[in-house]
């Protein structure tokens, strides 16, 4: 007995070894057979990454498994992937591994996992799936059962599986897009028999678009179908079948017959029950919630028939009816019911021509609380040039919607919607912008509406809105709204509402807009996407590569093409409050063009023309700005731009007139990004007081130049021009008069607060001190008291830490020359006998031992220049308070 068991064990082991070894022996041959057989029969490239042959996996059959399989198109669609799969497996009879080349092969079962099928039809009607080569038997008279036929492959399938796959269909010519995802399909039966039954199970998510309209979006479908298969007649009959579309169950029967160039179809379907829950089942499950607990009355029935031929020019005729009579539903946890529901809809095609498909919504009514809404419509030529005729009438309390239906909303809707609209148009007229060929009339009203979302900083409350419709336009009769601090009142006309709704065209219109208070900040929106932005600081710019998330930003609507005549009593912009604002705004291409905008600001008036655009990632502006009689102190306190352009002027009290031309980038809060702006300014200042405490530059000047005194309250008027670019402000030299001191100032400064200025003071003699006064009195010249001294001051450093330097050597030289010139003239007038006495007297009683007479032509040589220079130095040291002896250093 033990010997027998041992022999049996050895035999089994040998068999197992043979089963394991044979695939390795024949694997190369089998894989070559698979690859060559497929490639010989298709006009495409079939390949796979690796493969495996096993006798164990599907014993007693041979199992061939390939991984990362693909079929790549050639010809018109060269390079496009027709099909790919992560794994594909077929099984075939064991003995066929010994077949010679040319002998037929039989496939008994197959499975495919994670397959993707891409079906394409281009605009010329070419298809990418017609890849099967012509059968030699049909072209050369060879019997297709002849073993010598190289493409002879027969199917004897008993079962198959397709799992986790996708089918994509895009018809560019017909503008149709179909997609079946999460697709799982399996079948069992004997397809080798002439007549058999095939039991199939299918589920997936279906999406369908046609002509730019989405009809299904990831809608769940399920189909359990038992098919009668007649291969001799090429007929497939639905025997026991149940389909589920979304949550709606349908039962159907009928058949499909495949002809040489067409298909005959005759299928009837209907809902298995008439319960109104069938209607709720059509609503996506995420929104319909738990419909099994919903209380319903009345019925809802879907039934139809598809009958006819499918060929290149025809589709089957069909008639689908959807009806409900006096139905209602109520969710158990909600206080309101939807009642008096009546639906009578028909979708049909009676000719078999695609363009003759039509929809009739004969009746659609419902009631929530006391509000009744009704509609009817017809859409003809649905697949050609749709002709639409619709009527809507009724009232809806938006607050009752969430009381009757479990909407997934963060905030309850509020407001009353009243509608009475009749419209008739064809889509071709809309597409061609022939709005005069449409017929529209009626009205639409909204009252006490409130809306909020994450995109809005504050809820929008619309107290009243009213529209009336006619053939050419829509009139906005009233619009009163509030958000945050802002109130709005508007009227106007919209020229192409249909083009905006159906054809992605601009929303065109002309409006008047009035507001008591308009706060720009109320219209900030959150930017979640990464964006390039700049800081609001005047001294630095955020790098453009840096990512900013969650920033608030104003965006000008891309869809709006409108002209708005606006008035506002108060506009709040950043930290500014503008009064009596009026102007025209032209909104187009994500740009607002501002025309003749005027406002009262800082005690004066502003006039603005220009544009602001948010079309690029960074908002930009380009404006011309006029300022009249601005209060200098207030304007420099409120406008960072003025502080950057003229930092010293913030210490002045008085009035400013100015004209600006500038352009640059805007920060996310719509204030100018100073490092990017460029332009020029003409300014006129009427200064009646100066407060040096508000300017370290002026305080340093007063401290350095003792003849300066800003406390006497005289008016100092001057005009200046400047231009700016790349963060630098260039100020052209300009003249001003401070009391009786003439000053010429020019230079530049940066938005980084750096200073580089020069100021030339022409200082009268009376500011030179007692020594200078006594010295000039000795000249005995009436003009002496009018003598002036040029003082050059260099202003550097920064706004917060300025430095002032003076060149006293140059000043002393100039003063010396003036004194010499005046003394020479006096000596010439006196005569030679009194020259020495006059010089000695002028120079403080110095006597000379030289008693030689001096002629008139020698007067200049008699002037003792060194002594005059010394006297000039003494005067200048007094002029600057003897704080520093700079006569030699020039500082």
What pLDDT is stored for residue 614 in this prediction?
A: 87
pLDDT tens digit sequence for 356-408: 889 999 999 999 988 899 999 999 887 778 899 999 999 888 888 888 887 76
Q: Say if residues 586 and 592 touch (Cβ distance below 8 Å).
A: yes
What pLDDT is stored for residue 866 in this prediction?
A: 56
What pLDDT is stored for residue 474 in this prediction?
A: 83
SS3 content of the chain, % helix, strand, coil (to 5): 20, 50, 25
Of 557-571, 645-659, 696-710, highest mean pLDDT: 557-571
Mean pLDDT of 244-271: 88
Q: Say if residues 448 and 467 touch (Cβ distance below 8 Å).
A: no
Mean pLDDT of 134-154: 47
Q: How confident is the model at residue 835 (pLDDT cuts 50, 70, 90)?
A: very low
Residue 346 confidence (pLDDT) above 90? yes
Q: Say if residues 887 and 871 touch (Cβ distance below 8 Å).
A: no
782-821 CB burial, b ≥16 within 10 A, e <16: eebeebbbbbbbbbebbbeebebebbbbebbebbbebbbe
Cα separation, 39 vs 150, whole angstroms: 12
720-755 CB burial, b ≥16 within 10 A, e <16: bebbbeebebebeeeebebeebbbebbbebbbebeb
Mean pLDDT of 315-344: 90
Peptide bond preceding 479: is omega within 30 degrees of 0, i.e. cis? no
852-860 contacts, C-beta under 8 A, 24 or more apart? 856/828, 856/831, 856/832, 859/824, 859/827, 859/828, 859/832, 859/835, 860/824
Q: Say if residues 555 and 575 touch (Cβ distance below 8 Å).
A: no
pLDDT tens digit sequence for 441-496: 888 888 888 877 666 677 888 898 888 887 767 888 888 999 888 999 999 888 77
Residue 293 confidence (pLDDT) above 90? no
What pLDDT is stored for residue 865 in this prediction?
A: 52
What pLDDT is stored for residue 322 in this prediction?
A: 92
3-state class (DSSP) for residue 864 = coil
Cα separation, 96 vs 22, whole angstroms: 13
Higher pLDDT, 702 or 195: 195
What pLDDT is stored for residue 516 in this prediction?
A: 92
Mean pLDDT of 797-812: 76
pLDDT tens digit sequence for 745-796: 888 888 888 888 888 888 776 776 666 566 666 655 666 666 777 888 888 8
Four-CA torsion 594, 598, 600, 605, nearest 10 degrees: 110
Residue 314 confidence (pLDDT) above 60? yes
Cα separation, 49 vs 34, whole angstroms: 13
Four-CA torsion 24, 30, 32, 36, nearest 10 degrees: -170
Q: How confident is the model at residue 12 (pLDDT cuts 50, 70, 90)?
A: very low
Average pLDDT, the chain: 76
What pLDDT is stored for residue 873 in this prediction?
A: 58
What pLDDT is stored for residue 512 in this prediction?
A: 92
pLDDT tens digit sequence for 876-887: 555 554 444 443
Give first-to-last CA distance, the chain, whole Å: 126
Lowest-confidence region among 431-440, 461-470, 509-518, 756-765: 431-440
Of 105-109, 237-241, 646-650, highest mean pLDDT: 237-241
Q: Say if residues 620 and 534 touch (Cβ distance below 8 Å).
A: no
Residue 421 confidence (pLDDT) above 60? yes
Cα separation, 363 vs 372, whole angstroms: 13
Cα separation, 819 vs 86, whole angstroms: 105
Q: Which residues pair with 162 in a beta bridge?
A: 112, 185
Q: How confident is the model at residue 341 (pLDDT cuts 50, 70, 90)?
A: very high
Query: 0.85 cut: is pTM over it?
Result: no
Four-CA torsion 614, 616, 617, 622, nearest 10 degrees: -60
Residue 855 is classified by DSSP as -
Residue 342 confidence (pLDDT) above 70? yes
Q: How confident is the model at residue 816 (pLDDT cuts 50, 70, 90)?
A: low
Residue 858 confidence (pLDDT) above 50? no
Q: Say if residues 547 and 530 touch (Cβ distance below 8 Å).
A: yes
Cα separation, 672 vs 146, whole angstroms: 85
Cα separation, 789 vs 814, whole angstroms: 7
Mean pLDDT of 820-846: 54
Residue 552 confidence (pLDDT) above 60? no
Mean pLDDT of 529-549: 38
Could you tell me what percent of the chain has a pLDDT over 90? 12
Residue 273 confidence (pLDDT) above 90? no
What pLDDT is stored for residue 181 in this prediction?
A: 92
Lowest-confidence region among 68-72, 536-540, 804-808: 536-540
Could you tell me what percent of the chain has a pLDDT over 70? 72
What pLDDT is stored for residue 389 in this prediction?
A: 92
What pLDDT is stored for residue 347 in this prediction?
A: 92
**Distance (Å) of CA 236 to CA 107, 195, 492:** 21, 10, 62
Mean pLDDT of 275-298: 75
**φ/ψ (deg, to 5) at 211:** 60, 30
Q: Say if residues 315 and 349 touch (Cβ distance below 8 Å).
A: yes
Residue 543 confidence (pLDDT) above 60? no
């Amino acid at each position: 007995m033990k010997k027998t068991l041992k022999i049996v064990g050895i035999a089994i082991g040998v068999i197992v070894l043979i089963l394991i070894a044979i695939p390795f022996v024949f694997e190369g041959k089998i894989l070559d057979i698979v690859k060559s057989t497929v490639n010989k029969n298709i006009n495409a490239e079939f390949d796979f990454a690796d493969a495996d042959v096993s006798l164990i996996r599907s014993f007693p059959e041979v199992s061939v498994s390939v991984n990362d399989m693909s079929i790549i198109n050639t010809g018109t669609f060269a390079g496009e992937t027709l099909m790919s799969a992560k794994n594909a497996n077929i099984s075939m009879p064991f003995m066929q591994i010994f077949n010679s080349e040319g002998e037929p092969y039989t496939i008994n079962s197959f499975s495919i996992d994670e397959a993707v099928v891409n079906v394409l039809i281009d605009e010329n009607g070419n298809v990418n799936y017609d890849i099967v080569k012509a059968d030699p038997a049909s072209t050369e008279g060879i019997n297709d059962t002849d073993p010598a036929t190289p493409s002879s492959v027969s199917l004897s399938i008993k079962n198959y599986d397709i799992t986790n796959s996708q089918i994509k269909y895009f018809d560019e010519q017909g503008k149709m897009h179909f997609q079946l995802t999460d697709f799982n399909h399996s079948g069992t039966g004997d397809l080798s028999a002439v007549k058999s039954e095939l039991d199939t199970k299918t589920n997936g998510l279906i999406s369908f678009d046609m002509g730019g309209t989405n009809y299904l979006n990831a809608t769940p479908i399920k189909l359990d179908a038992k098919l009668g298969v007649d291969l001799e007649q090429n007929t497939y009959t639905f025997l026991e079948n149940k389909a589920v579309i979304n949550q709606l169950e349908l039962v159907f029967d009928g058949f499909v017959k495949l002809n040489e160039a067409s298909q005959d179809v005759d299928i009837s379907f209907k809902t298995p029950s008439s319960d109104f829950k069938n209607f709720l089942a059509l609503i996506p499950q995420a929104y319909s919630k738990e419909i099994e607990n919903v209380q319903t009355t009345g019925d809802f029935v879907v039934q139809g028939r598809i009958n006819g031929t499918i060929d290149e020019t025809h589709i089957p005729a069909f008639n689908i009816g959807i009806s409900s009579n006096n139905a209602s539903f109520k969710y158990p946890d909600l206080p309101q019911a939807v009642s008096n529901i009546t639906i009578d809809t028909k979708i049909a095609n009676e000719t078999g021509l695609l363009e003759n498909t039509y929809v009739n919504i004969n009746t659609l009514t419902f009631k929530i609380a006391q509000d009744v809404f009704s509609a009817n419509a017809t859409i003809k030529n649905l697949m050609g040039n749709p002709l639409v005729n619709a009527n809507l009438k009724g009232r809806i309390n938006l607050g009752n919607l969430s009381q009757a239906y479990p909407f997934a909303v963060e905030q309850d809707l509020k407001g009353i919607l009243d509608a009475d609209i009749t419209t008739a148009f064809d889509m071709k007229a809309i597409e061609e912008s022939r709005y005069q060929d449409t017929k529209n009339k009626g009205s639409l009203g909204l009252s006490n509406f409130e809306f909020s979302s994450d995109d809005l900083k504050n809820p929008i409350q619309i107290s009243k809105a009213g529209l009336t419709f006619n053939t050419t336009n829509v009139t906005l009769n009233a619009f009163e709204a509030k958000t945050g601090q802002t109130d709005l009142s508007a009227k106007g006309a919209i020229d192409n509402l249909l083009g905006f709704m159906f054809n992605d065209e601009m929303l065109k219109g002309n409006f008047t807009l009035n507001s008591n208070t308009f706060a720009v900040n109320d219209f900030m929106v959150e930017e979640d996407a990464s964006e390039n932005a700049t800081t609001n600081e005047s001294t630095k710019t955020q790098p453009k590569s840096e990512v900013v998330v969650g920033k608030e930003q104003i965006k000008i609507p891309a869809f709006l093409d409108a002209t708005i005549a606006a008035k506002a009593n108060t506009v709040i912009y950043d930290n500014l409050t503008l009064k009596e604002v009026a102007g025209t705004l032209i909104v187009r291409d994500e740009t607002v063009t501002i025309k003749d905008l005027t406002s009262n600001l800082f005690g004066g008036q502003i006039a603005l023309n220009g544009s602001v655009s948010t079309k690029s990632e960074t908002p930009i502006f380009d404006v011309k700005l006029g300022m009249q009689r601005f209060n200098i102190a207030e304007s420099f306190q409120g406008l960072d731009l003025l502080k950057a352009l003229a930092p010293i002027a913030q210490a002045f009290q008085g009035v400013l007139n100015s004209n600006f031309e500038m352009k640059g980038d805007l920060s996310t809060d719509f204030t100018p990004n100073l490092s990017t702006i460029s332009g020029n300014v003409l300014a006129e200042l009427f200064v009646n007081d100066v407060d040096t405490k508000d300017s370290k530059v002026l305080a340093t000047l007063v401290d350095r130049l003792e003849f300066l005194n800003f406390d006497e309250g005289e008016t100092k008027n001057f005009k200046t021009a400047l231009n700016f670019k790349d963060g630098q402000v260039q100020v052209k030299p300009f003249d001003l008069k401070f009391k009786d001191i003439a000053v010429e100032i020019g230079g530049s400064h940066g938005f980084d607060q750096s200073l580089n200025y020069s100021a030339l003071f022409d200082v009268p003699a009376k500011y030179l001190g007692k020594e200078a006064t006594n010295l000039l009195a000795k000249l005995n010249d009436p003009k002496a008291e009018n003598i002036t001294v040029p003082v050059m001051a260099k202003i550097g450093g920064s706004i917060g830490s300025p430095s002032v330097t003076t060149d006293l050597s140059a000043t002393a030289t100039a003063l010396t020359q003036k004194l010499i010139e005046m003394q020479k003239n006096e000596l010439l007038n006196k005569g030679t006998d009194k020259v020495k006495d006059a010089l000695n007297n002028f120079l403080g009683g110095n006597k000379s031992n030289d008693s030689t007479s001096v002629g008139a032509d020698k007067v200049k040589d008699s002037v003792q220049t060194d002594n005059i220079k010394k006297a000039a130095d003494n005067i200048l040291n007094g002029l600057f308070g003897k704080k520093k002896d700079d006569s030699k250093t020039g500082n």
